[in-house]
A and B are shown apart, each in its own frame.
Chain A
């Protein structure tokens, strides 16, 4: 590139301001979208990769395979004593357990308890998780009275004074004094571990279920030096499960439960149990959106650049006449293109940096741009796109015989081939844009559907007191607290159960053998309910009746197992248990040795994530539900939730100040289920919107180029009798054809993608043709509006003027 080439590029960009803005701006926006979504995908796939030697760590999964159980699938949890049994059977195995984590216990200071992210771990924790230390060393965990805390916590508790040697009272199962022996660096955002306090697991098993096969209470991590070693170890596990699980699960235990090893870095996106792989799909989808947006922008850029290049044919011909050789011309065009793309890349980077706070807010993220990685990547991109965009015009123009360009009254338009190529690119671009619009519509419809769908209970005016789950509270106090709550003026009713809306309780299932059918029968989820439970939830009774304190038989606590209990089932359980209708189920007894008589059927109440299949459930009644292992109080209130919440807090502080208060409205609890999808939808919509915008910019630019090229033709047609309307139709029609063809690309793409996404939801909207027709209609309208203005202006031009135009 010489001085003249630079000058000519600069002049061409500033002279054709609009063209330059569209061309460079479109590409910049595309690059920004790609950067932001790429950062998001990178963040989501970078979980635990900050950990030194993360590739050697595996999480032990418990994989359930029970007949028709709602719990089937792989979970990253195991029973408490798994590691001990593994160590006995496989000497030399390196691993650690993590019990607790987010709100895993309380720190008691000055008599006040506050929840903290406390984890109990093995002394070998640092052999697996080599957390960077600020003070002290990981080996301190070998002393049972030592505690390690995070930097933030050290600052909060001890300020500027030295934390080492200080005493901290921590309660997990019971309150114990620890000595601070070290400080570790805070865990980064891309970690599923929420740990700010590390204490050694107690020597004695802290729960009676510790060695019970089938229980799951903590996470077990193992370290292997090679993937082969991990795989070899995994092969030895089924016999181990058969041997060790014999007592609790019977013969061939490995048929119903297996232990698998999952690389630690895959844990974050791996679905648990029967959940669909939504997290994975979301990340992949957004990454694809980013890539496609970039592709649209590149297509756009190349398209506009080549279209423009034709206009410059005369310049090229002149340069040839003046003695420029082909190589020099090719160099000039490539250089120009690379330089222009470089400008766009820089702008894209600035745009991404500027929009990151917005995206972080919309997506609940905390992304930052890693310049060390992004800058070289953008440079590579600049080179590739620049060469791509410059290649065609460079070749086309440098090969075009100068004489014919100069002799003809017009520039070469690349002939029909050029027109076809450009049309093809518009088809591709609009195809993606339409697919994006359809996708956005489906996503928005589905997330709204989930938020508004009938959950089988009234979600407004419902609140849960969750802190009663803490074993320190005890049944007596729970009952007293519940009674005090019922007295509150804003509370209409309150009920205790071992689970509640939002799934914040105990989750149990067991097999229900069916009369006359061999085998263990299907596995059903079961929930303990106390008085008024169905009233609080406003459950709809489909047949029979719900539990009633007046029926003494209903109380499962008062009856022994062999004589049977009364149960209420949900709609789903009707068919699972083999009944044709709710009415038919009433009065029937199921359950083999533990007979359960169905007294009522209620509509499905969805306490759990909309991504989890709705499961067959039966409800059991305790007249004293506070005696259940886990108790959650569900409260039906009126008025401002804050008033009721404050009243609950007052009652709580009066009764059990040593346990941190925790309560939430049903809305808050359920929002947890929707958040991830809402976030993804917002990011998708932003990406799709920008992709459509870039597509429009491209179409606009192409239309303006095209109209420019055809002004003389318009004049000719007018002398031949064409009216303005004829001309406008001609010009708009020319762009409508590729836009309509684009549907052939868009519909199958959107259909496959959206069907895949929707199957992740148990309860989802139908993939109606309206979404597709709507997307097409929107794209058509946008396209017409985009080109209509110019077409009308061009069509009204006086023919005499148009004929003089060159």
Chain B
């Protein structure tokens, strides 16, 4: 479903050049659950952002299905994200001024055709077990609840690909388990997931795992079933 070919990402700031990604070749097939691991600063988030088209590679090709995303304009990419992708962040990134329900509904706000928005929002909230908190504001929720709300927002639009950047990084073990279980369930229902994590046990819940070092993919392993 996704192919990255020879992706490079360089940051240039004040004469200092950082190469966050070097010669990345990666294929992700539909229905896959991929974990990305590696030490801090090795380029995991950059890779995820590149997959999410919120960061553009300096060079290389990014094919999504048969679309070449490198050739798409800013506006088209925005529509693409709205239709195809769902993001989950380490720090939840809910909007403080909006209720949980409104935050989840925001996942449908930039889609041309959202279907029955109300039902989809409540279904998404049910799925992550946050429906009883619909009217609350983010700061009234625990971290685990906030992250589940963020997942509801990511899945409310039925994305083809879910990108999760350390989704359990700010959570305790129990809440982390809960989030992982939700992700796994989503994968079993057919969602494609790419997840960055520092936890080997969470990485083990994925079907495939890649290890990064200094901007390169150094290892790729399938989980034995």
Contact = CB atoms under 8 A, between A and B. Distances in A.
A712 interface: yes
B190 to A, nearest CB: 21
Interface stretch (B93-101, B192-200, B211-219): B93-101
Contacts of B106: 716-717, 720
Nearest to A712: B93
Interface in A707-765: 712-713, 715-726
A312 to B, nearest CB: 17
Interface stretch (A69-77, A409-417, A568-576): A409-417
A749 to B, nearest CB: 32
Contacts of B33: none
B97 A723 contact: no
A329 B50 CA distance: 45
Interface string B85-119: 10101011101110000000011011100000000
Contact of B85 (A404, A413, A719): A719
A471 interface: no
B39 to A, nearest CB: 19
Interface stretch (B72-80, B121-129, B175-183): B72-80
Contacts of B95: 713, 716
A354 to B, nearest CB: 42
Interface in B133-148: 139
Contact of B93 (A416, A725, A726, A803): A803
Interface residues of B, number: 29
Nearest to B45: A800
B82 interface: yes
* Interface residue range, chain A: 20 to 34
A408 interface: yes
A803 to B, nearest CB: 7
A163 to B, nearest CB: 80
A419 interface: yes
B89 A721 contact: no
Contact of B54 (A404, A410, A725, A798): A798
B111 A721 contact: yes
A723 B79 CA distance: 7
A100 interface: no
Contacts of B153: 720
A502 interface: no
Contacts of A419: 97
B139 A720 contact: no
**Quick one: which of A409, A716, A721 has the most chain B CB within 10 A?**
A721
A720 B54 contact: no
Nearest to B110: A721
Residue in A416, A725, A799 with the greatest tally of chain B CB atoms within 10 Å: A799
B6 interface: no
A465 B107 CA distance: 84
A410 B111 CA distance: 28
B79 A721 contact: yes
Interface in B18-77: 49, 52, 54-56, 74-75
A799 B96 contact: no
B219 to A, nearest CB: 26
Contacts of A404: 139
Given A720-B106, A720-B107, A722-B109, A409 B91 contact: yes
Nearest to A719: B87
A725 to B, nearest CB: 7
B120 interface: no
B78 A723 contact: yes
Contacts of B81: 718-721
B114 to A, nearest CB: 11
B102 to A, nearest CB: 12
B109 A720 contact: yes
B83 interface: yes
A419 B98 CA distance: 13
Contacts of B82: 720-722
Interface string A341-375: 00000000000000000000000000000000000
Contacts of A409: 91-92
A457 to B, nearest CB: 66
A723 B81 CA distance: 10
Interface string A15-54: 0000000000000000000000000000000000000000
Interface in A692-715: 712-713, 715
Most buried by B among A410, A415, A798: A410
A690 B58 CA distance: 49
User: Which residue, of B74, B82, B111, has the highest number of chain A Cβ atoms within 10 A?
Assistant: B82
Nearest to B109: A720
A706 to B, nearest CB: 11
Contacts of B78: 718, 721-724, 726
A723 B85 contact: no
A509 B223 CA distance: 113
Contacts of B111: 721
A798 B46 CA distance: 13
Interface string A379-404: 00000000000000000000000001
A803 B89 contact: yes
A408 B93 CA distance: 11
A794 to B, nearest CB: 14
A722 B112 CA distance: 11
A515 B32 CA distance: 110
Contacts of B74: 723-724
Contacts of B56: 798
Given A719-B81, A723-B75, A800 B110 contact: no
Contact of A408 (B80, B85, B87, B139): B139
A259 to B, nearest CB: 70
A716 to B, nearest CB: 5
A181 B14 CA distance: 86
Contact of A413 (B75, B97, B107, B109): B97
A763 B41 CA distance: 78
Contact of A410 (B75, B79, B85, B96): B96
Nearest to B54: A799
Contact of A800 (B49, B79, B85, B139): B49
Nearest to B138: A408
A717 B81 CA distance: 10
B96 A725 contact: no
Nearest to A411: B96
B97 A798 contact: no
Contacts of B89: 803
Contacts of A723: 74-75, 78-79, 110
Contact of A416 (B54, B91, B97): B97
Contacts of B139: 404, 408
Nearest to A716: B93
Contacts of B91: 409
B104 to A, nearest CB: 11
Contacts of B107: 720
A803 B46 CA distance: 12
Nearest to A724: B74
Q: Which of B81, B82, B87, B96 has the most CB of A within 10 A?
A: B96
B47 to A, nearest CB: 12
A336 to B, nearest CB: 26
Contacts of A725: 75
A523 B97 CA distance: 72
A741 B81 CA distance: 35
A797 to B, nearest CB: 11
Nearest to A727: B78
Contacts of A722: 78, 82, 109-110
Contacts of B52: 719
Contacts of B109: 717, 720-722
A721 B160 CA distance: 14
Nearest to B96: A410
- Ranked nearest first, the 7 interchain pairs of A and B with the lowest CB-CB distance are A721-B82, A721-B110, A723-B78, A799-B54, A800-B55, A719-B87, A721-B81
7 contacts: A712-B93, A716-B106, A719-B52, A720-B81, A721-B110, A722-B82, A726-B78
Given A719-B85, A803-B89, 4 more contacts: A413-B96, A721-B79, A722-B110, A723-B79
